[in-house]
Chains A and B, each alone.
Chain A
């Protein structure tokens, strides 16, 4: 098995498993709420239905609206293929480090927000304004937690960071704990989950993501929904990579890849289950409390930085 083939398997896997991950979260939530739920495969059925449906666009929608779904989808997929999931050193992981990865997702968001503005409805502009505002406030916290992680590895390359964690002896690092909490908080916000935004909402005055894509239909909507699912799986994989990478294989041999795949599924499923528990037990925040949540994440990551310098340097 060459590393290139593992790379392809990995990218396709993230793409195909993404709807399953979304279905898994909603099934877990349904069970936790004493409902049966629609099953893990429901997002796949939704996508299939949307791909078959006809696209209808508003009269004055421009090419920005028309091509935004493709740009959003490819930028997200590009970001997903950079993240190592099974193999530590994949050919594409050199293409973008963590900062470039965040920037690729920002590119997707930029076009999504523009598409929201293109139709000229109040909802589209509202969603674009909120999405861009809150993601901007999330950015410093995201960078700061990446900073904390890169301090001990002296690198922002995912491969090097993972290798560093795998090779260093297991020890409790308070800075990593802070960084992890901050990163999880940011991941929740970036993916528009409760308590920031509710992905199952529709036509609610506090919606963010759904407000931007309200005007989309057919395959365009399918691509945007799919991109959102890939993004959720991407962030889960990223957190797994950065904080609990054990089990990932350094060589591209069959047994290693299979073991890595099994462990990856378990770890991501665990993380998503925690998300479902939180989403069930928590209410959505008021819109103007979101900045406080995000600045809280920033403060936590900054504490991580300070604790690294105070407790871990030279230790």
Chain B
């Protein structure tokens, strides 16, 4: 048993202790402190275990727990270490943030029990080395997060979101179980090591891929399986939303990589797998960002952006699958690294964004962007840290989001001609969709930051907002620093995660990534492409500082005056562009996709040219819900109604059913 796996198990035990702590700690203050402290320790341990595992390698272990004939197998390999690191690096700041965020929460017990269980579930999934342990922790993660989503169960909205979430999480669980069943049939054992060694026919490999893809895809929120995500994330407490969006979706990505790359292996890949993943990724990226642009509930908007970012990760994974199938292991490794880099980046900046949204919610009491504005003056720290996350998610240099999207672009651009003409065209097309998604994300975050933090306060609550306490500030500052560091020094970080492609694809990027020195990131070699974030940042600081120093008159403050209002003396805050008006051009351009239901009411009592009152309302529904979920729901109800008749038969009918079932089972199994 080496140090890394010991640390990882220590993290799990700390989470378990945290879940049991409310038995002893009854006071809200004690519960809150205990929860935050123990989760912070869990996060720190997971982070260190991850780094240890990546650098020194992990170990496998059989725990004396579980079923008598199937003890729990745990294993910390490079992939598990990387995801331990992802979990830890967001859990640690979120735990610190929770200490401040939960201060005014009167009823903490459910949160204090289920949040650690949720964390334990995620760590357990990552560490598991047999299908039984995997599913056990997977369900623990799903069920405990259901209780977190319905934490404020007095609201109808939360109960409804929780129900949809539970149904879809179990559908996902069922599909994943099906995928393990296929692998079990090939290997004859639930242990992952046996599944790795087993050979599987192409047909059953494809079946396992599809089941895993749809199962993990549902949990990750891939379009059109994303219906639960924009409902569940906004209603959960913000620290939980940060964890759900930042890490839980990544655990689904982990599961997908584990099943496809590790349990089956690149040798089993077929060309259409990669194409399917690429298509799913592109459509998720575009749909996610387009839907996000039309939201005015801040947390719902962020939830849709999670769908977009999962799409970006899948584009990287799909490219890697395609390139691995066509025999380019180095480029496949680059695609995988791009996807994993975006995984940790998204965990950090989305966690930060949800924490920032939580800070705004905490201080204004609303999630509606239309009633915010001007918060940069009232909450300067939150605004600055939120801006870092906005820049990161918009893929702007020198922050981290740009590095991972740049690597994904490089993978797509360097992909040589693959297979037929269709495949050759689909790769650049998906890269173009990635470019569109990235640019639209920037549009969306100009809207978010502009409407929430800039301009004038639109309501009284926004005008009287207050800055959050130091716990929350520190909780947000840590991921912000990580965002900058991961953006500046990818050259140091990519070699750290290099053992993952080495494990899964037997290809290493370590030789090429910093071949030209630590300043330049060179994914293939210097002649192909290079990017140096440190030079960009230093150059901008020097040039900007020089310009400021030369131009700014010393010792003089800038004269302030009223803003220019075209001569109109009556300017008020409602004249500003708001979230709905900002996205109006896109609503019009993509009207075919959005199908907005618009309602414009103009009252004219005096003259037909003089409007007294104008009201405009717009509603945009989710197409997937409208055209996929509702028909399925209706069909289910209809089928239930047909069967209803059968339920009301006498006892002999039931006996007949039982008899037929037994006959059927005998016929099948003997």
Contacts and interface: CB of A to CB of B under 8 A. Distances in A.
Nearest to A96: B531
Contacts of B433: 140
B529 A128 contact: no
Contacts of A305: 425, 428
A106 interface: yes
Interface centre among A59, A97, A135, A223 (most CB of B within 10 A): A97
Given A136-B443, A140-B433, A223-B547, A59 B563 contact: yes
A288 to B, nearest CB: 6
A73 B563 contact: no
A132 interface: yes
Contacts of A63: 376
Interface range, A side? 35 or more
A157 B394 CA distance: 23
Main secondary structure of the interface of A (DSSP, over half): helix
Contact of A309 (B406, B417, B443, B529): B417
A59 B531 contact: no
A126 B445 CA distance: 15
A71 interface: yes
Interface in B548-568: 548, 551, 558-566
Interface in B419-461: 421, 424-425, 428-429, 431-433, 435-436, 438-440, 442-443, 445-447, 449-451, 454-456
B544 interface: yes
Interface string A203-221: 1000000000011000100
A51 B551 CA distance: 8
B428 A125 contact: no
Interface in B522-576: 526-532, 535-536, 539-540, 543-544, 547-548, 551, 558-566, 571, 573, 575-576
B341 interface: no
A78 B537 CA distance: 10
B10 interface: no
Contacts of A59: 560-563
Main secondary structure of the interface of B (DSSP, over half): helix
Nearest to B584: A129
A78 B541 CA distance: 10
A144 interface: yes
Contacts of B443: 132-133, 135-136
Interface range, B side? 35 or more
A150 interface: yes
Contacts of B564: 58, 121, 214-215
Interface stretch (B234-242, B317-325, B407-415): B407-415
B425 A306 contact: yes
11 contacts: A59-B562, A110-B445, A114-B449, A121-B565, A122-B575, A122-B576, A128-B577, A129-B577, A130-B585, A134-B585, A157-B528
Interface of A: 51, 54-64, 66, 70-71, 73-75, 77-78, 81, 92, 94-97, 99-100, 103-104, 106-107, 109-110, 113-114, 116-122, 124-126, 128-130, 132-144, 147, 150, 154-157, 160, 203, 214-215, 219, 223, 287-288, 291, 298, 302, 305-306, 309, 313
Given A62-B377, A95-B535, 18 more contacts: A58-B562, A70-B548, A81-B539, A100-B536, A103-B396, A117-B577, A118-B455, A125-B581, A126-B577, A133-B586, A134-B585, A136-B442, A143-B432, A144-B432, A157-B526, A215-B564, A309-B417, A309-B425
